[in-house]
Every structure is written in structure tokens, then in C-alpha cells.
Chain A
Amino acid sequence: MTLAFSLVVAVMFGSGAFLVLQRDLMRVVVGIVLISNSASLFIVAAGLTQGAVPILPVPGGVGAPVSDPLVQAMALTAIIISSSVTALLLSVVYRLYVSHDTVDLTDISEAEVRQAEALERDGDPEEEEAPQEGPGQEEIEEKSR
């Protein structure tokens, strides 16, 4: 059983790490979800004892062997934290999608470089709330391609 758990945890963590290295931001978020859940699985697996009932109530009545319930409380907390952080990450991705119309990291950083150049020509970024030069510049470059 331990071997099965460790294999699953390893595969989940590995796939998560692979996804985090992608350029698509949605895949990065999914990767983080996989990695956090592999940690939760690790916690639960660490608390199970062979031959003991995993969760109360015990069929054999009080006194029968039962697995440590504390790790399950820990896993629950970890799941809550990871789900709320995932919500936060998704909102950040959505915010980037709204302003760039893409969730690809290369496109976003290119757009940012263009904006920075536009700002450098126009001066103070504090005064300027919306990138006025940005979209125009983008169209010109797309045409030139």
C-alpha cells in the first residue's frame, strides 16, 4: 500500500511540476493544483496504519485499532488552503487575460515589453493609467509581420 501511495504521489507531483513549466498560465495553475493535492495525499498516506480502520466509527466497537485521525484534520486544512490559493491564482490569470486577451506567458511578456517601450517614449508611467500607445503599436507590428 505504501508503495502504491508513494507512486501516486510521485506521479502527481511530477505531472504537476511538468505543467508548471508550461507557458500557458492555465496549465501552470492546474500544475499547482496537482502538486498541492499530491501533498494532501502524502499527509493522509503518512497517517494510515496497516490493518487499522482509516476513519471512525470503528465496526469492532470502541477500542478496536483506528488510524490516526489528526493527519486527516491536517489534510483537510491543507485542502482548504490550496483551494483558496487556487481561486486567487485563477483570478490573477483572469486579470491578465482581460488586459492581454491571452494566457500565454510569452505573448504577455512581449506585450509588456512593448508597453514599457511606449512608456519610455512618453515619460511618466504614474500619470498614465491606460497604455495608449500599446494597442496601436501592437497592430503596427502585426501588420509588419
Chain B
Amino acid sequence: MTSSTLLVLPAGLPWALAAVFALLDGRRAWVGWIAAAGLGASFVSVVLLGLKVLSEGPVEVVAGAWPVGVGITLRADVLSVVFAGVSVGVILVSLLYEVSTGVRSRTFPALVLFMAAGLSGLFLTGDIFNFYVFFEVSMTAAYVLTGYREKDYQVRAAFIFAIVNLFGSVVFLIAVASLYHVTGSLEMQTVAERVSAVSPNSVISIAAAILVAFSLKLGLFPFHLWLPAVYVGSHPPVAAILSGALANIGSYGLLRFGGDILPEELEFGTVAVLVLGSASIVYGALQAVSRRNTDEVLAYSAIGQAGYILVALGVGGPIGFSAAVIYAVVNSLNKALLFLAASLRGPLVGTAFAVGAFSLVGVPPAVGFVAKIAAFKAGLAAGGVVEVMALLAVIFLGSALSFVYMFQLYQRVFLANEPQRSDRSKKTSPRATRALVVALAALVLAIGLWPEPLLVLGERSATDLTGSLGGGLP
């Protein structure tokens, strides 16, 4: 298969399938299974593309055979392939979970496929306006998915989610138009080259707009207000998709725009980014400790975990960027595992949840340990003594608090005898869903035991961003 076909498949395949599945009744089991098979094929194409990118370097195609500089560029480097792989994987697991328990809405498989198409397209594009379009495709699918099951509070959560995130999209769109205005190009590489020649005064406001837009998607501290309302209302697989796949838009956007396109502005705003990240870590952890509802704890924990990614980004350089990539990947896996496992009952589910909890806290051999080490390394790499001490203190505090809230949660969900108010009945969940969650937990453990591939991916992504070969993790 040629590289151009491989580059189109991850987004094109689910997109074409989604268009067909929108017309079919998604509640039928065979429709769901075919959708899952299609998404699986898309995942395989991402993996194949990843292998190609790792061995041959970035793959680039101009859509529609237009000359370079005119047509829309599709581009895959290690960073985009890593994020596409994790996101499509999490969506696939969530779709399998929902199909095996029975889909309740006719549009669910199509929406999930649309979201996968939007996300892969967004990660694999080399054009900032195309990025915005795919971003809207996946966000629109997410608005509808939040209302899945059509309980009143879910519909209301969908409304809040849509309104707040549309604000973010508009801010991002304005930033895209401004970048085009100051550089005269939409292609990421060209923008990155030309933007250093532009007066910093105008670029810094664009960079601030981009930071706000992606912080809103990621749910960082001052922009997090929508996040608990949405995660608490959502059906577990939807919550897993939102926090495990959709939130990756924020981390990827910050890395791509901050690290690749606007590195000088990122350096200029280091203090602001570090302060926002630290505030997120502490605020999310404190709120999570004080909550009792499972989804609420996980939602606030998501705010705290996003803070680590921002701190690593703020530190920058090969070490910081690779830590941000590793943390984002590990966080997606953890959140998907925890949201899915917390809603199940039966043998081995508690173990799977405990693995997820250990991973989130950062206890070996779960993969979270690798991510925490990377975060500590990034903290150590931050400039002066005072900064290093402050960052390490914040990271340590966040981890300690996460230990408290995760095991409070474990105790409340799996050990306590008191009847739960919400839909967590005592019935044993279907074997297929339990097997899925256990498999995800096994994956988390396996990557933790053999972290080299993940570390190499993180390092290669950081190399793509910084454009140098120095530094990196051992």
C-alpha cells in the first residue's frame, strides 16, 4: 500500500462508513459489529502508517494532486500518529463496550465513526484550517454523543458542552484567520517558518487565543467549568471517549501549535503556562478529594491530570515535550479504563479498576509510573532552583492527593456495602465487557512493564517538534 493511501485511510474509512451507518439502525447488533470492524480496520491503518513513519520519517501528501502550496496538505509525523493511534484505540474499545451491552440509539455507531474520522483527520493534517474543520467534525459528534441515552440531564449537559466549546472553537477560528493574515499561509510548516519574521506583538495575542481555545478543550483550571457537568451526566463509554479521545485534541493542539508552530511565543509565555498547569494540578486534586460521586471524582481528576501535560509543555525542550506526549497517552488509557471499569460489576472488574487507579497515581508496574517519572524529569529540567523546587512540590502534591482520592473511590465503589444511588446495580456485568476492561488493564500493565516503545515514541515526537536530535529520555 502506498503511503498516500495509508495517510487517507484512517480518516477516510470511518468517514465513508459513518455516512452509510447514519442511514442504518444502529440498535441492531450486526450494524454495531460492522462499525466496530470498520473502526478496527481504521486502527490497523493508523498502526501501519505509524510503522511507516517510524522507519521512513514524516509522510506528506497534497490532497487532490494539487501543486504543493495550493492544495490541502495531509501530513503524518510521529506525534500525530501516536495521538491518532491512542484516540482511535480508545474509541474502538468504547464502541466494543457499548455494542456488547446493547446500543440504545440508532445513530450511536455512526456518531462514533464520525468522531473517529474527525479525530484522525485532525491529527493527520498539515493545514491549520483543515485542522479547524476536522476539529468541528469531531466536536459536533461529541455534542450529540453527550446527549446519548437522552436523559434530561444528559441533554442539558450536551447543551452546556456545545455552548462552551463553541466559544472555544470561535476563538480558535479567529486565531487561525489571524495566523493566515500575518503569514499568508495555512500550511503548518510554512506558517512555522514565516511566523518568526512577524512582529512578536501581534503573534503573542494569537498564541494567547490558541492557548485559551485548547485549554478549554482540555479542561484546564480556569476553563474547566463545563467539564464536571458533562462527565457526570455521560454514559460510561461516552465519558471514556470524551476524556480518553476527545481531550487529546487539547493536548495535541497545545503541542502542535505551541511546540511546532509558535515555539518562541511558548517560551515567552512559559511562566503563565507553568502557573496555569500547577493551578490545574492542585485544584483538580483538591476538588477530587472532596467529591463522593464516582464520575465527579474522575472528572476533577481529569482536570488535575491535564495540568501535568501543561506543566510538561511549559518546561519545553525535548524532555518536556516527550513527557507531555507520554503523559497524554498514559492519561487517555487510564481515563478510558477507569470510566469503563467503574460502571461494571463482577469478578476481576475491581482488579482492573485498581490497576487503573495505581496507574493514575503512578505506582509501578502500571504505566502511570513511567508517565510520572517523565513528569518529574520535566520538572527537574525547568530552569532555576526555585522553579524546580516549586514544580516538584506541585507534582508530588498532586500525586499524593491522587493516591488519596483514587483509593477513597476504590473503597466506595468496590468495597463498601452501602447501596449506590446511581445506576451501579449489584448485577454482574456481561462477560464480554468485563473481558474488554481486563484486557485494557492488562495493556496498562504490559506497557508499564515494557515501557521502551512508549518512551521511544515520546522521544521521537519531541524530536519532531524541536527539530533537533539532542536530549531525550534514556
Give the interface of A toward B (CB within 8 A). 20, 25, 28, 32, 35-36, 38-39, 42-43, 46-47, 70-71, 74, 77-78, 81, 84-85, 88-89, 92-93, 95-96, 99-100, 108-109, 111-112, 115-116, 120, 124-126
Contacts and interface: CB of A to CB of B under 8 A. Distances in A.
A139 B400 CA distance: 49
Across chains A and B, which 6 residue pairs bring their CB atoms closest together, nearest first? A43-B177, A46-B181, A126-B423, A39-B170, A81-B136, A39-B173
Count class of interface residues, chain B: 20 to 34
Q: Is the interface of B mostly helix, strand, loop or mixed?
A: helix
B162 A88 contact: yes
B3 interface: no
Given A46-B180, A89-B162, A84 B140 contact: yes
A13 to B, nearest CB: 8
B152 A88 contact: no
Nearest to A81: B136
Given A92-B155, A96-B155, A43 B173 contact: yes
A20 B129 contact: no
Contacts of A70: 180, 186
A96 B181 contact: no
B71 to A, nearest CB: 12
B155 A46 contact: no
Contacts of B186: 70
Nearest to A31: B163
A85 B167 CA distance: 12
A131 to B, nearest CB: 8
A112 B156 contact: yes
Contact of B158 (A28, A35, A92, A120): A92
A71 B422 contact: no
Nearest to A33: B166
A24 to B, nearest CB: 13
Contacts of A95: 147, 150, 155
B321 interface: no
Given A88-B162, A95-B155, A124 B174 contact: no
Interface string B158-172: 110011001100100
Contact of B152 (A35, A38, A99, A120): A99
B155 A47 contact: no
A124 B167 CA distance: 36
A14 to B, nearest CB: 13
Contacts of B150: 95
Given A89-B163, A112-B153, 18 more contacts: A20-B167, A32-B167, A38-B170, A39-B174, A47-B181, A71-B177, A77-B133, A85-B166, A88-B143, A92-B143, A92-B147, A96-B155, A96-B156, A99-B152, A108-B152, A109-B156, A112-B156, A124-B425
A96 to B, nearest CB: 6
A116 B150 CA distance: 15
Nearest to A131: B152
Given A85-B140, A95-B155, A115-B152, A32 B163 contact: yes
B178 interface: yes
Contact of A74 (B136, B159, B177, B422): B177
A115 B163 CA distance: 24
B227 interface: no
A78 B422 CA distance: 40
Given A88-B143, A112-B156, A124 B166 contact: no
A120 B450 CA distance: 46
Interface of B: 129, 133, 136, 140, 143-144, 147, 150-153, 155-156, 158-159, 162-163, 166-167, 170, 173-174, 176-178, 180-181, 186, 421-423, 425
A112 to B, nearest CB: 6
A42 B421 contact: no
A46 B178 contact: yes
B12 to A, nearest CB: 19
B166 A32 contact: yes
A63 B380 CA distance: 58
Contacts of A115: 152
Contacts of A42: 174, 177
Contacts of B153: 112, 116
5 contacts: A77-B129, A77-B133, A92-B147, A92-B155, A95-B147
B295 to A, nearest CB: 14
B166 A46 contact: no
A88 B163 CA distance: 11
A81 B158 CA distance: 18
A108 B153 CA distance: 9
Most buried by A among B162, B173, B421, B425: B173
B285 to A, nearest CB: 27
A41 to B, nearest CB: 10
A20 B163 contact: yes
A30 to B, nearest CB: 12
Nearest to B186: A70
Contacts of B178: 46
A82 B92 CA distance: 28
B178 to A, nearest CB: 7
Given A43-B173, A88-B140, A96 B421 contact: no
A125 B181 contact: no
